[in-house]
């Protein structure tokens, strides 16, 4: 996927305003940040690892353990148990058992396999078989396939991209008649179990008001890729970017805004250095919302991207510079249908294979993604569980990785109030992802202004905003993050998760800043 930027900040922006009254909502109360403790986590003694994953539709799940990232079969499988009264599946294994019973003495790589109503468990099933298969997609939108190893949405790092040098066959991740029996376990990206970073380590966050700041927007790899002053092995990396902090501070830069640095498919970019066909330079197709992009780290070993990213943030904070990043919670890197007329053939990498109707907005018949943005289907931002992931991810980047602010790509999707069969943006419904983000991680309000301040509402049937007025209130454009509307047209291809982007409109709004 390539991102073409035309008129980088042209046209109109959306400034969210706190409403005087709220629409009534019968939505359930949302969970506190990280209350589900999902993902793979060591206990306090680092003697045991607990794996927890959400699926409201699965009927059987297992976690597979590997001692290498790719090229070999799992060393062991462990069945997960559904926790009473919840949709969380969990299992705990001791480090000693992994070492002594299964032969995994070092890094633990893992992934999930899931069965559900469209593919119930059959004792005769083996990897690469179709035992138990009913349909690639059923009437309620389930797309379970136990032949696909699924990446944990809460993994703290990802081992590698689905496609990479030496493995460019994206069809192994597919469903549908031609691909459903292909087992991808040996090649699929896997989560990496990490110990939690020590507290601190990212420096003291600067407190300069955003209205007084010069924000330098830059692609992280592009910042140093051709910089002869940076050692060759550090060019285009977090470490290389850290080396530029003092120079940017000397120019008067008060904040850097990196284009997306969450894990995305881009390991195939350099296979053919003479061609950009299928390359994903810009990174707006996220595979995992917690993992720093491994390709941007000079230390690519387990834990390396996290350590190097945090060190980079500290370097900027020490220079008095805030660190913002673009984030993409409106769609994921799993993409849409490989063929518009084929409801069966999709990539199953993570979210779709775990709980398709929870993580994605679907059409009314639940057979296809709801796609009103041209990126392959909307992330289901009005679903409380999908919202949990957004908020948990933002909190992790803010509190653990040290980020000061975010710019939300295609932010209107975060204001959607319809899970399936429609799209309806609301600036006042308190249950939207946008409202929840600002409620749970409130920015410092900008100084109040006199007189009415315009707000913008969007109709699902037109791309034209209709202006209304509300009494003056603190602005809640979000930093972290800055909540901005950006419209774009994109064309997807398959198999794989590539897309071409064309920037059509956006403008940076006045924003507020977090401490």
What DSSP assignment string belongs to 463-478? Answer: SS-EEEEE----B---
Dihedral sign (CA 308, 52, 344, 411): negative
- Structural contact between residues 78 and 375, judged by C-beta atoms closer than 8 angstroms: no
Local structure of 174: helix, strand or coil: strand
Q: Walk along the chain (515 residues) and give the pLDDT tens digit of each residue.
A: 333 332 333 222 232 222 222 233 455 556 789 999 999 999 999 999 999 999 999 999 999 999 999 999 999 999 999 999 999 999 999 999 999 999 999 999 999 999 999 999 999 999 999 999 999 999 999 999 999 999 999 999 999 999 999 999 999 999 999 999 999 999 999 999 999 998 889 999 999 988 889 999 999 999 999 999 999 999 999 999 999 999 999 999 999 999 999 999 999 998 887 888 888 999 999 999 999 999 999 999 999 999 999 999 999 999 999 999 999 999 999 999 999 999 999 999 999 999 999 999 999 999 999 999 999 899 999 999 999 999 999 999 999 999 999 999 999 999 999 999 999 999 999 999 999 998 998 775 544 555 554 443 443 333 333 333 232 222 233 333 333 323 222 222 233 322 222 222 233 332 333 43
Distance (Å) of CA 58 to CA 43, 142, 144? 26, 9, 8
- Given strand 88-94, what is the order of strands in its sheet? 39-42, 48-54, 88-94, 81-82
Give the distance from CA 222 to its chain's centroid: 21
Return the closest-CA partner of residue 370 out of 405, 422, 411: 422
CA–CA separation, 361 vs 368, rounded Å? 9
Return the closest-CA partner of residue 410 out of 314, 278, 303, 505: 505
Q: First CA to last CA across the chain, in angstroms?
A: 34
Full-model pTM: 0.84
Give the distance from CA 270 to its chain's centroid: 23
Is cis: bond before 495, omega within 30 of 0?
yes
DSSP annotation of 312? H
CA–CA separation, 138 vs 279, rounded Å? 33
DSSP annotation of 513? B
- Structural contact between residues 21 and 52, judged by C-beta atoms closer than 8 angstroms: no
Determine phi and psi for 284, rounding to 5 degrees: -90, 50
Burial 61-93 (b: 16+ CB within 10 A, else e): bbbbbbbebbeeebbbebebebeeeebbbbbeb
Distance (Å) of CA 322 to CA 237, 281, 309, 402, 447? 18, 24, 14, 9, 20
- Structural contact between residues 292 and 306, judged by C-beta atoms closer than 8 angstroms: yes
Distance (Å) of CA 515 to CA 205, 206, 210, 403, 444? 7, 8, 11, 11, 7
- Structural contact between residues 505 and 11, judged by C-beta atoms closer than 8 angstroms: yes
Return the closest-CA partner of residue 417 out of 404, 430, 403, 402: 430
For 19-118, strand residue ranges (E) read 39-42, 48-54, 60-66, 76-79, 81-82, 88-94, 109-115
Q: With left for phi above 0 and alpha for psi between -120 and 50, is residue 354 left, alpha or beta?
A: alpha
Local structure of 50: helix, strand or coil: strand
Give the distance from CA 360 to its chain's centroid: 13
């Amino acid at each position: 996927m390539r991102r073409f930027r035309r008129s980088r900040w042209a046209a109109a922006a959306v400034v969210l305003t706190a409403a005087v009254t709220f629409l009534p909502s019968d939505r359930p109360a949302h969970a506190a940040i990280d209350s589900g403790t999902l993902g793979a986590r060591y206990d306090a003694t680092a003697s045991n690892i607990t794996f927890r994953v959400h699926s409201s539709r699965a009927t059987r799940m297992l976690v597979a353990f590997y001692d290498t990232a790719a090229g070999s079969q799992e060393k062991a499988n462990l069945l997960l148990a559904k926790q009473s009264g919840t949709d969380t599946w969990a299992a705990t294994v001791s480090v000693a058992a992994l070492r002594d019973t299964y032969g995994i003495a070092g890094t633990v790589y893992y992934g999930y396999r899931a069965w559900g109503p469209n593919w119930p468990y059959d004792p005769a099933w083996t990897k690469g078989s179709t035992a138990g298969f009913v349909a690639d997609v059923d009437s309620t939108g389930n797309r379970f396939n136990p032949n696909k190893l699924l990446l944990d949405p809460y993994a703290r790092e990802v081992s590698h991209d689905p496609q990479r040098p030496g493995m460019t066959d994206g069809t192994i991740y597919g469903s549908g008649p031609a691909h459903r029996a292909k087992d991808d376990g040996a090649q699929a990206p896997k989560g990496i179990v990490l110990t939690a970073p020590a507290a601190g380590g990212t420096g003291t966050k600067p407190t300069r008001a955003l209205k007084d700041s010069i924000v330098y927007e830059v692609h992280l790899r592009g910042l140093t890729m051709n910089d002869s002053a940076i050692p060759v092995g550090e060019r285009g990396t977090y470490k290389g970017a850290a080396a530029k902090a003092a120079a940017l501070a000397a120019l008067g830069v008060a904040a850097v805004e990196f284009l997306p640095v969450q894990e995305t498919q881009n390991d195939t970019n350099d296979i053919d250095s003479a061609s950009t066909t299928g390359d994903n330079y810009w990174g707006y197709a996220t595979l995992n919302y917690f993992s720093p992009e491994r390709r941007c780290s000079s230390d690519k070993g387990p834990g390396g991207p996290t350590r190097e990213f945090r060190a980079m943030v500290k370097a900027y904070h020490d220079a008095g510079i805030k660190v913002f990043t673009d984030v993409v919670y409106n769609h994921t890197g799993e993409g849409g249908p490989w063929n518009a007329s084929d409801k069966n053939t999709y990539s199953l990498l993570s979210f779709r294979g775990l709980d398709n109707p929870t993580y994605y907005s679907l059409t009314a018949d639940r057979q296809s993604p709801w796609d009103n943005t041209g990126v392959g289907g909307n992330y289901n931002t009005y679903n409380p569980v999908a919202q949990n992931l957004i908020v948990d991810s933002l909190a992790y980047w803010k509190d653990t990785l040290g980020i000061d602010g975010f710019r939300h790509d295609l932010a209107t999707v975060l204001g959607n109030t319809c899970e399936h069969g429609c799209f309806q943006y609301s600036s006042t419904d308190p249950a939207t992802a946008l409202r929840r983000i600002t409620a749970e991680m409130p920015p410092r309000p900008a100084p109040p202004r006199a007189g009415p301040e315009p707000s913008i509402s969007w109709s699902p049937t037109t791309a034209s905003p209709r202006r209304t007025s509300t009494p003056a209130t603190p602005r809640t454009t979000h930093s972290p993050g800055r909540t901005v509307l950006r419209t774009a047209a994109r064309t997807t291809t398959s198999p794989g998760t590539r897309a071409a982007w064309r920037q059509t409109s956006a403008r940076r709004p006045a924003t507020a800043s977090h401490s």
